[in-house]
Structure 1
Amino acid sequence: MSKKVSFFNLSIYKILSKEQSFLDQARIRLLYYGFFLIFVALGALYLSVYFQNQKMLAYTALFLMGAVIVLFKYLTWRPDWRGTAHALLIVGTLVNSSLVYVSMQTVNIITVQVIIIVIAFSYYMLGQQWGLIYSLLNTIPVLVFMIIEYNSGYVIGIKPNKIDQSTIIISLFANFILLIFIHSHFYTAFLKNIKHLKDSSREQARLYNQMETAIEKAEKSARIKSEFLSTMSHEIRTPLNAVIGMSNLLMMSSPRPDQRENLEVLKFSANNLLAIVNDVLDFSKIESGKVVFENIRFNLVELMNNICGGQILKAEEKGLLFKLDVDSSLKNKVLFGDPTRITQIIFNLVSNAIKFTPQGNIWVRVTCVEDRHNTVTVNFSVRDTGIGIEKENLENIFEPFTQESLATTREYGGTGLGLAIVKRLLELQDLQITVNSTMGYGSEFSFYMEFPVSTEVVTEVVAAPETKQPAESPLACLRVLIAEDNMVNVMLMKKLLSKWNINPTIAENGERAVEFMQYGNFDIILMDLQMPVMNGFDASKEIRKMADPKKSGIPIIALTASALFDIKEQVYEAGMNDYVSKPFKPDDLLEKLNNYALRKRVV
């Protein structure tokens, strides 16, 4: 025990604490009150043997009384009950042996009682191991003495003390009192301890039930949160799909310069809103632990050019100089990794650099720091000459929904999720991001990432000789069935597909889509997932069950604004071929339609 009190303390309450168990408190009380009983008993014995002129026994009693006083003072000053118990047992063992071999030179009932007291006291105070040790230290010497005395008699040059009947009675009485006190005290302590354990067990059971309830509530809350995010995502993305889609349609219609400027503002605002929604959903997905990293082939140089291509234009609009520098040794390497997550990380870092740099430069560097043939270690660095970050705020910027300061949020906007997403994505791969920043001079974010290297060699693409393309577009005569319940999106899809000379058939729900497939012929289905009567998943499953192989094998592309984390898996499990998230870029949908149209022509 480390508790310390005043040297002059004599109170037991100052050496007891709530942190001690019931048994430990009982042991301290046993020592504290036991010292009083022993001292009184020794005082009575001292007077008895003193008046009988038994000097050795009188000195022994005085020695024991002094030891009791010293140990009592030590216990009330430094409440080390274990050390005190050991010291008391050692003194008792030595005195017991000296009484048998020197002072009295015999084994009587008093000696046996002392041994019993030592055994009981050592087991109760110090446990089984020390109890056994002190029991053997007290019993073996006495047994040895009895054997010696039985075989040859025990004789030494010191005259033994003889005690009268009154001294024997005092000793027996004192020993009985001590034995009763020890057993009674610990019996009460054991009962209290058992009751405490029962109460603790009941309390633990209650807490366990509360914990289970809390876990159920947390899981339910997580499900509700996921469903809420999915619903809100669908409700926000559906009108956004119309806003962005109509903006794209109007911009494809050769608007006047003043109209184009208005459309650009409209499209920019809609894309900003979409970016905020995507950030919240991405962060929720990461926090839920449902992020799965791919391990596919990609070329890092091409990936970085694609990521920074649009960002360069964005930087130039602000008058910033944007420089992308990718290590030339990576040019002809095919790496394994997750290009989607790398894109997400770099895009967030570069977007932040552009946002917080009023003037100056943006540098994006990708350096191969170690090439071991089968793996490469790459350093990614994004540096700017922006506003910089205060040193005490460097850790805070990675917290979700947090920016460097309130003034920064007001001036530059944003959700404060970009860097949180970057940090979480890197941490999930056991990677760390490093930040160096100086207020007014800019910031640099960097991290290292290791990639396995494919044995495939990237070769320069040689332009093939031009061949005469057929006059007819691959999308000509493509029969498209659209399953969509939202009239605004229906109008948008009709206008968009008309640009590609496609006249689609519209089914207002999944059940109607199945009916159209039963009685009509189509080349491809664009299937919304959340519809009344029958959703897109069930409709796709019904179509895959059709007897006609041409109908059951028709390509189905899912179109949805849902934000469920496992939506892709659900899409493929339902038998759909592809997935496009709303709001989508017209070019993305056009590319997928062209791919399936070309497959149809090949077949």
Structure 2
Amino acid sequence: MSDEPSNPLRPVLEEPPALEELPVLEEPALSLFLGITDAAILFVPDGRVFATNSAAEQLFGVSEGAVRGQLFDRIIPCPREYAGNVPRYVADFCEANSEPFSHPVVALCGTQTRLSLLVRRTSLMLGAVACSLLFFQDISELVESQRLLQQKVTNSAGLSAAKSRFLSHLAGNMPRPLAVLRGVLRQQLDGESNSPQLHQELALGWQALGELQKLHSEISDFSQLESNHFEFQLACFNARFVIDGLLEHFQEQANRYNLEFATLVAPSVPEFLIGDPDRLQQILRCLLAESFRSTTEGGVTIRAQCLAETDTHATIEFEISDTGQGLSDRVRKDYQALLENPRTSFADQLGELGVGIAIANELIGRMGGRLTLRSTENVGTTYAVSLKFEQGERLQNEVRQLTGRRALFVNDVLSDRAWMTDICKVERMQCEWVGTCEHAVKRLCQESATLTPFDFVVIDLHGLKTEGALLIEEIHSREELKSTAIVMLVDANEGITPVVASSMRVNVLLAKPVGKNLMLQALRAALVQRRQAQPMLVTQHLLNAGELRAQRSLLVDDNEVNQIIAKGALRRLGITADVTNNGEEAIDAVRDNQYDFILMDCEMPIMDGFEATRLIRAWEQKCGRHTTIIALTANSSDEIYRQCLQAGMDDFMQKPFRADQLQAILDRIARQRIEASQGIGG
């Protein structure tokens, strides 16, 4: 074997046939070849030219007689390992190069002419010999245009980077001199010996300082938005405090121009939200600045209301309304189109919308929200900001749920107890350990007579499933222990399946190993389940899938009184409800939202509940969904029940219904779905 290093580009040379041995191009192939509009050259396998058309002769400045039987590497240079075989070189080059305009095939025509070529290759049989037919296209002008464009892009990127560094420099260095200027002006304005003229001049300076501070704020905001390190923080905050801060910030400006400035926060806005309060205030500040800039009489109002709420999230709408000059209908439509077009660049928004609105819209988009605009010329403008936040109150409630709770752990392996003890300390829970079921019953009964009984018992007996089952049975048999939640930890080979655990009336069943977070979820779920009239089994699958989240429902009823009663029952169960008045509205709502269940009145105008359910089921079948639909009817006859099932409803209730009736139906449906998902047969 040769010691010469292998070269993947080195061709496998064949013994070439002599040109005179090849068949002559005859009609009609000859006419077709000569009639090709692109430059074309036919090569024999060893790279020698067999034939050229007139377009190739014109492109390269050669004649067929001069190049026939010759290698073409004098015109198209190729590495020496190709031994002058241009077709093979071109084939390898084009296969390895996915950007022909950035790295074209190069041809040298004479001493000064350099061509950039786009080359296509095909095979042509001359008798039994496979020849290469190459088509050449001169792309020199395109390549040069691309080079110039790339150079401009590079220069532009350099200028943009320099501008960004300059703005960042300004944003970082302006605060100190502004603060000094603010302090000096404030001190002079507070002086008692100022003449009226001096006081007026100082007031103008103070006003100019305010404008400088606004400019600095916009520069800082723009610089941060351009930065790749722009981040949002997550903190628990009160939206009312954010708006109060804006009131303090703009009240002086409102007073100076004799404008009203009011803030209105609806009671429906949750007290605590999880998000970035600084960015929220920044958004509202930008929009308020725009409103004050265009308002010379009347005033500006900021309102906040909750559009949608679950136990985990809330969508809040902030409206900023002014009585300014407003926008013409054409300008308003142009603005809204820019706001709603996701392909509109930040730079385009800056040019068309102005700095304040552009920065606000960019921040809102990054926070997953939406900015809409309503405006009437000579009446005023309203900016509406919709943002979805996680509820902070829910997190605090969860902590309060476990703080101070008492847990009895039944565990017969001492080495397992340390990690659970640490969890209890962190959550400020009280825990106690016992090693036998007999001792567990004794301690549970003793503490049940006190003011602080055990809230739950956690059973982990390492394979002693018989003792665990007896302990659970003993707990359920004693009236004083019926409020104790039961959490059971099992190994996969113990044979305690969900259906077995459900029959034992276990609240939470976990398969080991169990981590800290899952254990905490289990304890909280157990506390919830023990308060239910008909508790359902909570499994690891449910906890991991987040099925214990607050439910969202759709109430479909045309009667306002019935709506009020039903919403009250849902609210007592911690379930949020959207309301529609007929079947058509319900179909639109289901297509736009995902609900845990639907309460469907059977008799309504426009479209009744039966027809609406049939259409919803037909649509869900196409998209692979199934939403629980519970009929609401004043008639509880068997015929109505049959019609409900035929329409595709899951269950029905007689109006007016009670919260416990709805909870029983939801628990039963949830239990059926759990068993179905786990392959449990009835």
TM-score, scaled to structure 1:
0.40
**Higher RCO structure, 1 or 2 (CA under 8 Å, sep 6+):** 1
- Identify, as 1 or 2, the structure richer in helix: 1
Larger radius of gyration between Structure 1 and Structure 2: 1
**TM-score normalised over the length of structure 2:** 0.35
Greater strand content = 2
